[in-house]
Amino acid sequence: MTKKLTGKAAIITGGGSGIGRAISELFAREGAFVHILELNTAAADALAEIIRGSGGQVAVHPCDVSKQEAVLEVISRIGGIDILVNNAGIAHVGNVEDTHEEDFDRIMRVNVKGAYNVLHAVVPVMKRQGGGVILNVASIAALVGITDRFAYSTSKGAIYAMTLSVARDYLHQGIRCNSISPARVHTPFVDGFIAKNYPGKEAEMFEALSKSQPIGRMARPEEIASLALYLCSDEAAFITGNDYPIDGGFVKLNN
């Protein structure tokens, strides 16, 4: 059978760990040449060795997506781009009173400006090629109120709005743009967050966070990657300007 992304060039920002890692691995297995833009190059290089060992094609590009000049330089070297997954992002815990100016600026710089920088660089390439697919990673925090996630929720709301704007503006240039909104996903970040904030209560907190999804568990990164694959493949050619919660029922079933 033909792989779903054979011959496609895909950029995955933050593609060396967590959700981004799962997307990078799956896209490579499906035939894409995966370009990982990553600040943590050690993790990305280790992943690249695994992908190449399985017969996949991958390149790692050290890049701080919050720096526009750096992003433009990397994109110019990559050349043709069929798929962009805007995944890079960071988290912050706190309500509006707990969020200091430097915290807010850091979240906006990485999560919002970073996504803008990559869109700003990639969209002209896709226009010249006659089309492409963009997938932005938002969050359920963009859709519902989450306790102590003021800055993070603000940034993901911006990602949701960016998605609609790009989808509308480039509807007739052959560029599709969607977003996905995961609930909690079991990644190394979650384990580190629990260990840092709840020492000695790790198992208890993991269980509590898992059960905050009505389905009773966190998502696996591979499950998020499967949705990303569908939306970035030709099977989803009629889909643009939409957000897809992948949340174990969190948005609609949490009463």
Catalytic hit among 152, 160, 170, 198: 152
160 is catalytic: no
The mean per-residue pLDDT over the stretch 158-180 comes to 98
Q: What percent of the chain has pLDDT over 70?
A: 99
Residue 197's pLDDT is: 79
Residue 193's pLDDT is: 80
Q: Domains of the chain (ranges plus CATH)? A: 9-183+220-245 (3.40.50.720), 185-218 (no CATH)
The mean per-residue pLDDT over the stretch 116-133 comes to 98
* Phi and psi, residue 65, nearest 5°: -65, -15
Q: How confident is the model at residue 216 (pLDDT cuts 50, 70, 90)?
A: very high
Amino acid of residue 19: I
pLDDT single digits (tens) 20-51: 999 999 999 999 999 999 998 999 999 999 99
Does 190 have pLDDT greater than 70? yes
pLDDT single digits (tens) 43-76: 999 999 999 999 999 999 999 999 999 999 999 9
Does 124 have pLDDT greater than 60? yes
Q: How far apart are CA 210 and CA 194, in angstroms?
A: 12
Residue 96's pLDDT is: 97
Three-class secondary structure assignment of the chain: CCCCCCCCEEEEECCCCHHHHHHHHHHHHCCCEEEEEECCHHHHHHHHHHHHHCCCEEEEEECCCCCHHHHHHHHHHHCCCCEEEECCCCCCCECCCCCCHHHHHHHHHHHHHHHHHHHHHHHHHHHHHCCEEEEEECCHHHCCCCCCEHHHHHHHHHHHHHHHHHHHHCHHHCEEEEEEEECCECCHHHHHHHHHHCCCCHHHHHHHHHHCCCCCCCECHHHHHHHHHHHHCHHHCCCCCCEEEECCCHHHHCC
Place of tokens 């970073």: 114
pLDDT single digits (tens) 152-164: 999 999 999 999 9
Q: How far apart are CA 212 and CA 52, in angstroms?
A: 38
pTM of the prediction?
Answer: 0.95
The mean per-residue pLDDT over the stretch 3-13 comes to 97
Does 1 have pLDDT greater than 60? no
Measured over the CA atoms of residue 22, residue 236, residue 88 and residue 31, the dihedral's sign is: positive
The mean per-residue pLDDT over the stretch 190-214 comes to 90
